[in-house]
Amino acid sequence: MGKLDFFFVDTKANISHTFEDGALEGETIFVREMITYGEQLDIRSAALVGITDDEGRQIFVVDAKKREMAEMKTWLLTWSLESRDGQQKRIVASKIEGLHPRAAAQIGRFVTKYSREKTGDTEETVEVEKATEAPAGSEPASEEIPDSSEE
């Protein structure tokens, strides 16, 4: 990799991932190999939620659900999943939001893990985000996505 390759992202490069188990066993998704710095900032911004604390101060917290949706919208390119009429559909927000919860959870887990690996986010970064989630009752609480392979 040349020095110029490190500084600029090839926005057309992609990788495929075929799920080996769970709700999407045998299905393939294609994700971008890397995102740009601006797109990474967009993901972070989309996940920020302003709340008012008990003392009336405006604070910002990370909504894990919004972050996962923003990551999926940014990283996903296409998939092998077929619609009811047998056609592959382009990835658009309405398609992601219309997925079965188990399928969305499985894709979300892969995209989140891949995103952390490619962008250099560390476990510490993720823990800081979890620690800054909204207190119960202030905004939509973030919850863990159940592992579809447990059923």
Domain that holds residue 53: 11-136
Q: Does 16 reside within a domain?
A: yes
Stated pTM of the model: 0.67
Q: Does 3 reside within a domain?
A: no
Q: Does 109 reside within a domain?
A: yes
For 48-82, the pLDDT digits (tens) are 888 888 999 988 888 888 989 999 999 998 877 76
Q: Does 145 reside within a domain?
A: no
| Greater model confidence, 54 or 85 | 54
pLDDT band at 9 (very low <50, low <70, confident <90, very high): confident
Q: Does 4 reside within a domain?
A: no
Number of domains the chain is built from? 1
Label residues 112-139 b or e (16+ Cβ within 10 Å = b): bebbeebeeeeeeeeeebeeebbeeeee
